[in-house]
Structure 1
Amino acid sequence: MQQIKNIIASRISEDGLIETGVKGVQVFRATQSIPCVPAVYEPCVVAIVSGSKEAILDGERFVYDNRHYLCCPMSMPVKAGTPTASAENPLYGVFVSLDARIMSELSIEMENAVGSMVQDRSVSNVQGIKLAAWDAEFTDALLRLLKLGQSEMDSAVLGALRLRELHYAILKGEAGSFARQAFGAGNAIARSIAHVSGNLGAAISIDEMAARAGMSRAVFHRKFKQVTTMSPIQFVKTMRLNNAAMKIAAGMTVNEAATDVGYISPSQFSREFKRLYGQSPRQWSEGHRVPMAVA
């Protein structure tokens, strides 16, 4: 793991995210404490090699460091930050977007290779995101992937292969069963969440979500809450407001952000924003200009 830290530290000289040369793989650094603020995690793995990060999903707090990485196989509205980062204790990490095609293909190949795979019974008690212990295969695959950045040719020729290798290590690791549930062909809830994430600016009805999942409204509501801890209505609202908060913090006007995530009524947006965050959108705009990409 020290080798991974050295590679990251040698490539990044200021706080923020930078590309590695392999699509979907970024490294980051933070040297200032950032409180947990609204964010949206798209399907990803976040691995910390120095310091620690925090994520909060529907009130449950996840702290991860060089012992556990975060696996988020579905789009999730969270609060995230780097409360312990400082110049004396810098945070270094890697962000990897999970490729749905690769994850699905590997899941099928793994099952075909060994027959019906035993599901981890603890998966049913884990919603939305999971922390997984660093293991030798994950560490080795991540190191091999990051080493590619030393050569543009190596990244172009071997990047896809090394990225596939890392996805395989994730599926074999502690979060593997959890991730396979999300990327399996039969997971209608995951597909519904992907649709919501990609269409926040459009009208979204719970009946439409249930129909897309092939379930009755009641069954869909129950299964959706099992997976995300939130009701469908609460999930859609939180996704919209978290996205809006991120856009405002990045410099977008309040009205633009509200419209961008599907709100027609500015007054309704302001009411719901203040109810969730305890501040009006304009107060939020004045006090939360933070580097959201690292949070």
Structure 2
Amino acid sequence: MRKDLIKQLIEDRIDEDGILETGVKGVQVFRVTEPLRCSPAVYQPSIIAIVSGAKEVILDGRHYVYDSSQYMCCSLSMPVEAGTPTASPDNPLLGVMIALNTRVMTELAIEMENASGAIRQPKSGPLPPGFALAHWDDAFTESLLRLLQLGESPADTAVLGEGRLRELHYATLKGEAGGSARRAFGVGNEIARCIEYLSTRLNQAVSIQEMAAQVGMSRAVFHRKFKQATSLSPIQFIKSMRLNTAAMKIATGMNVTEAAMEVGYVSSSQFSREFKRMYGLSPRQWCQSNPAYAIR
């Protein structure tokens, strides 16, 4: 089977825990053999395809577990809790992570929407969630295999990498996660643009009214569409993005006060209170219980 070939390519390339670049920009393979409980993380627009083991993600209190039967497509930057609770030396987590290229996804999504016979979603209809799980179809599997096979030749990688990556983006847009991805990157991408605006201003006070004005919506319409896309209210989303981003900074060695200021908290005591309220531990306690911040 083609998926078995993908697994073999990953096993041949990485034999120690960690993340390894493939040579194609934005494409990495990874291996984990130690269980990691779910911890704060921020997923950037990306695809994660598992060929062995399973990953767990918590979004707004809902648990999602995915393995080799489904790949994950995150179309929007999302604050989550993620981990690898079942990883072990006998059952390693193996997979590939592909950063979604905004320019390529937008070009393809708009081309698909403009293509003759393309199915258009009603603009007044519900927004798909920014986090989706999709079954591997033939087009996705074949394009991923062709992409990973480039690693066998640096020359092929340099010449064909961009084209093979574009092929995978197209397969994703056509697959089960396509509705979510097309809405995030196509013509109706107001919420995605708003999240991108917010993500570059985590250290600033951004009001809901300001976010709504960025995409030309009333506060009420913006609130409804934002929650449809992310499952979180704008206020919940902002707080989760700030706290998760700070947690990741603390885990890599930044002190608590500096991390709090980096994401817009003036008071480190307020930051610690809100952190403990969300995660059940103080920032320092959480850091001590998460000595390694590996694959999330």
Q: Hey, what does 1:144 align to over in structure 2?
A: 146
- Residues 250 and 289 of structure 1 are in contact (CA less than 8 Å); yes or no, is this contact kept in structure 2? no
Distance 2:215 2:83 in 1: 33
1:48 pairs with 42, 47, 50, which one? Answer: 50
Asked if 1:206 is matched to 2:208, the reply is yes
Q: Hey, what does 1:176 align to over in structure 2?
A: 178
Moved more, 38-47 or 150-159: 150-159
1:204 Cα deviation after fit? 1.6
Q: Hey, what does 1:127 align to over in structure 2?
A: 129
Distance 2:62 2:143 in 1: 30
For 1:223-242, what aligned pairs fall within 5 Å after superposition? 223-242=225-244
Whichever residue aligns with residue 136 of structure 2, its letter is W
Q: Hey, what does 1:163 align to over in structure 2?
A: 165
Distance 2:213 2:110 in 1: 26
Q: Secondary structure at the match of 2:206?
A: coil
Asked if 1:6 is matched to 2:8, the reply is yes
* Matched length: 293
- Residues 274 and 281 of structure 1 are in contact (CA less than 8 Å); yes or no, is this contact kept in structure 2? yes
Whichever residue aligns with residue 37 of structure 1, its letter is S
Distance 1:3 1:119 in 2: 36
- Residues 56 and 66 of structure 2 are in contact (CA less than 8 Å); yes or no, is this contact kept in structure 1? yes
1:282 pairs with 281, 284, 289, which one? Answer: 284
Whichever residue aligns with residue 142 of structure 2, its letter is D
Q: Hey, what does 1:19 align to over in structure 2?
A: 21
For 1:183-202, what aligned pairs fall within 5 Å after superposition? 183-202=185-204
Distance 1:193 1:115 in 2: 31
Whichever residue aligns with residue 134 of structure 1, its letter is W
Q: In angstroms, what is the RMSD of aligned CA positions?
A: 1.7
Q: Per the alignment, do residues 219 and 112 of structure 1 end up closer, same or farther by CA in structure 2, a change over 3 Å counting?
A: closer
Whichever residue aligns with residue 281 of structure 2, its letter is Q
1:116 Cα deviation after fit? 4.1
Q: Hey, what does 1:39 align to over in structure 2?
A: 41
Q: Hey, what does 1:253 align to over in structure 2?
A: 255
- Residues 69 and 134 of structure 1 are in contact (CA less than 8 Å); yes or no, is this contact kept in structure 2? yes
Distance 1:213 1:34 in 2: 38
Q: Hey, what does 2:267 align to over in structure 1?
A: 265
- Residues 16 and 291 of structure 1 are in contact (CA less than 8 Å); yes or no, is this contact kept in structure 2? no
Whichever residue aligns with residue 238 of structure 1, its letter is S
1:71 pairs with 69, 73, 83, which one? Answer: 73
Distance 1:208 1:115 in 2: 37
Describe the superposition over 1:221-251 as per-residue Cα deviations: whole angstroms up to 9, x where unpaired: 1211121111111100100000111111122
Describe the superposition over 1:120-140 as per-residue Cα deviations: whole angstroms up to 9, x where unpaired: 9xx947523110000111011
Distance 1:282 1:66 in 2: 35
Describe the superposition over 1:30-73 as per-residue Cα deviations: whole angstroms up to 9, x where unpaired: 00111111111000010001111111110111111111000100
Distance 2:95 2:290 in 1: 23
Distance 1:249 1:238 in 2: 16
Whichever residue aligns with residue 191 of structure 2, its letter is I
Q: Per the alignment, do residues 127 and 111 of structure 1 end up closer, same or farther by CA in structure 2, a change over 3 Å counting?
A: closer
2:90 pairs with 80, 88, 91, which one? Answer: 88
Flag structure 1 segments of 5+ consecutive residues without an equivalent: none
Distance 1:54 1:125 in 2: 24
For 1:89-128, what aligned pairs fall within 5 Å after superposition? 89-119=91-121, 124=126, 126-128=128-130
Distance 2:268 2:191 in 1: 30
- Residues 54 and 81 of structure 1 are in contact (CA less than 8 Å); yes or no, is this contact kept in structure 2? yes
Q: Secondary structure at the match of 1:114?
A: coil
Q: Per the alignment, do residues 221 and 125 of structure 1 end up closer, same or farther by CA in structure 2, a change over 3 Å counting?
A: closer
- Residues 4 and 146 of structure 1 are in contact (CA less than 8 Å); yes or no, is this contact kept in structure 2? yes
Moved more, 4-13 or 105-114: 105-114
Q: Per the alignment, do residues 105 and 222 of structure 1 end up closer, same or farther by CA in structure 2, a change over 3 Å counting?
A: same
Asked if 1:29 is matched to 2:10, the reply is no
1:119 Cα deviation after fit? 3.6
Q: Secondary structure at the match of 1:23?
A: coil
Flag structure 2 segments of 5+ consecutive residues without an equivalent: none
1:255 Cα deviation after fit? 1.3
Whichever residue aligns with residue 103 of structure 2, its letter is R
Moved more, 61-70 or 196-205: 196-205
Whichever residue aligns with residue 69 of structure 1, its letter is Y
Q: Secondary structure at the match of 2:31?
A: strand
